[in-house]
Structure 1
Amino acid sequence: MIDTHVHFWNFDPVRDSWITDDMKVIRKDFSPKNLMRIYGELKISGCIAVQASQTEAENEFLLSLANHNDIIKGIVGWIDLKNPNLIERLYYWNNFKKIKGWRHVLQAESAEFILDPKFIDGIKQLKNYGYTYDLLCYHNQLESIIKMVDQIPEQPFVLDHCGKPDVKSQDLSAWAENIKILAQNPRVYCKISGLLAEADWKNWKEVEIFNCFDVIFENFGPNRVMYGSDWPVMLISRPYLDWFNLVSKYVERFTEQERKLIFNANAKAFYKV
């Protein structure tokens, strides 16, 4: 099994200011060694390490970890897609085969940023290097994401955290309609990850998470869905095992072959690991 969404960091209160006081459980360092025991117990063979900082130094940091930790099977790094020297930077990073794709924290950006022709032109360059692109956005940004993705039909995308629906309020209708539209693009995959952060951290109910899963699987199907934990961010709500067991319970309804796709094969095919 592969966990397609984890983060590592040496905590810095200035750089990591998004980790607020009410998230104190993750206001500390997290490294691959913190995952070894739980991965061993669950027979998870490795992970995709996803950027948490928006500098190219983050790529160096994750590559250094990958060089010393076999559980990191691939890296989703960060690069400035509007950089006039983007081609040069992509050429440089292409020397490091552990880097499989890129991500920008679009949830912090405006619709104008997402639909900026310079940004879109940057993503258009990625296919020349075989790179994927992770889409990190809130549910109310999906219309802009759809417009952006439609302009880059050949690019492999994956939607992080199911597009961050409002799990807490269960106001899912607009999100569900946009998921339906986005999923019509066969190059877009989806990670079932990150939903605990969008729920009432301490008081969510299983049905609230499953309602979101229903929409994702109805539209993407088991052929384009990947398991991810969003560790350590998900620790603000529950231990790793709780999330893994929740996903495992939901996917019991699928065949053994479909469960292998969700937990392994889709990730291997998408990220080429």
Structure 2
Amino acid sequence: MIIDSHQHFWKYEPVKHAWIDGNMAVIRKDFMPSDLQSVYQDNGVEGCVAVQADQTLEETDFLLQLAQDNNFIKGVVGWVDLRANNLESTLSEYSEADKLKGFRHVVQGEPDHNFLLRPNFLRGIEVLEKNNYTYDVLIFPHQLGAALEFVKRFPNMNFVIDHIAKPYVKDGFYEGWAVLMKEIAKYDNVYCKLSGMITEADYNTWTPEQIHPYMELVLEAFGSNRVMFGSDWPVCLVAGNYAKVKELTTNFISTLSTIEQQQIMGANAMKFYKL
């Protein structure tokens, strides 16, 4: 079974989705389950995890409603204010939402390099752990040092690094990213998504060969049992299409054993998110 561990839905609003800049004009529109379902049929994908793109509780509710109405959405990674004093009571309101598997904060957008290590945020992660939720780590490479300290503090919490921590492929930035990714991978409660890679390269001229060294490092460091395929649809459309994104991973892992390929293309996501 192929499970896409990372995609988004939205009803496009210019202010709310201000991060979709002029270079990404192709995704300045609505993207809903009906759009994705046909894409999945064409690409043999059976299910997905829908991930928040907006930092509001309304976003979490929106995704949960879509998951309720569309069986192929197997899980939701929502948003909640992890720094809030009423976090426990907010989570209790979601206790019946079986498809709510975890949460994410757009840490890459925080100006504070050590945002992940602030006491109120760490308290929030403690609460998530107590309630058996996962946490998706969305960061840029300059935040990897903080991320390393962060995951060290929670050896029993399930973390996944989104988009291989967004290395600056376009600029050829590799070594500093690689050193810290290897260190983070030493913690076996941390997984990594092979997702969001083509949008870190040049949108128009990227090649699989440019991205392979990054994928090789991730596979070597995390192993086939802690890496998962994700499309980052519809964001991926600014630099390609779904088939190209999927092929980037399937071609890369084609020399692995059948079991390893199955792990990366679905089984690991099912295990991590308890789908």
TM-score normalised by length of structure 2: 0.98
Equivalent residue number for residue 209 of structure 2: 207
| Counterpart among 122, 142, 145 of residue 143 in structure 1 | 145
Question: Is the Cα contact below 8 Å between 1:182 and 1:188 reproduced in 2?
Answer: yes
Task: Please say if 1:116 is aligned against 2:142.
Answer: no
Percentage identity across paired residues of the two chains: 43
Equivalent residue number for residue 186 of structure 1: 188
Question: Is the Cα contact below 8 Å between 1:63 and 1:98 reproduced in 2?
Answer: yes
C-alpha RMSD of matched pairs (Å): 0.8
Alignment of 1:35-114 (within 5 A): 35-109=36-110, 110-114=112-116
Structure 1 residue runs of 5 or longer lacking an equivalent are none
Q: Amino acid of the residue matched to residue 123 of structure 1?
A: I
Equivalent residue number for residue 12 of structure 2: 11
C-alpha separation between the residues in 2 aligned to 1:206 and 1:6? Answer: 21
Paired residues, what number? 273
Question: Is the Cα contact below 8 Å between 1:114 and 1:148 reproduced in 2?
Answer: yes
Q: For residue 111 of structure 1, report the CA deviation from its aligned partner.
A: 2.3
Equivalent residue number for residue 258 of structure 2: 256
Alignment of 1:222-237 (within 5 A): 222-237=224-239
Q: For residue 245 of structure 1, report the CA deviation from its aligned partner.
A: 1.0
Equivalent residue number for residue 221 of structure 2: 219
Moved more, 30-39 or 176-185: 30-39
Q: Amino acid of the residue matched to residue 35 of structure 1?
A: L
C-alpha separation between the residues in 2 aligned to 1:39 and 1:260? Answer: 17
Q: Amino acid of the residue matched to residue 153 of structure 2?
A: Q
Moved more, 103-112 or 171-180: 103-112
Q: Deviations over 1:144-163 (max 9, x none)?
A: 11111111121100000001
Alignment of 1:26-41 (within 5 A): 26-41=27-42
Secondary structure in 1 matching 2:88? helix
Equivalent residue number for residue 196 of structure 1: 198
Q: For residue 42 of structure 1, report the CA deviation from its aligned partner.
A: 2.2
Question: Is the Cα contact below 8 Å between 1:54 and 1:78 reproduced in 2?
Answer: yes
Question: Is the Cα contact below 8 Å between 2:79 and 2:103 reproduced in 1?
Answer: yes
Secondary structure in 2 matching 1:223? coil
Q: For residue 37 of structure 1, report the CA deviation from its aligned partner.
A: 1.8
Q: Amino acid of the residue matched to residue 108 of structure 2?
A: Q
Alignment of 1:152-171 (within 5 A): 152-171=154-173
Structure 2 residue runs of 5 or longer lacking an equivalent are none
Equivalent residue number for residue 274 of structure 2: 272
Structure 1 stretches of at least 4 aligned residues deviating more than 3 Å after TM superposition: none
Secondary structure in 2 matching 1:168? helix
C-alpha separation between the residues in 2 aligned to 1:83 and 1:157? Answer: 21
C-alpha separation between the residues in 1 aligned to 2:123 and 2:266? Answer: 31
Secondary structure in 2 matching 1:13? coil
TM-score normalised by length of structure 1: 0.98
Question: Is the Cα contact below 8 Å between 1:94 and 1:129 reproduced in 2?
Answer: no
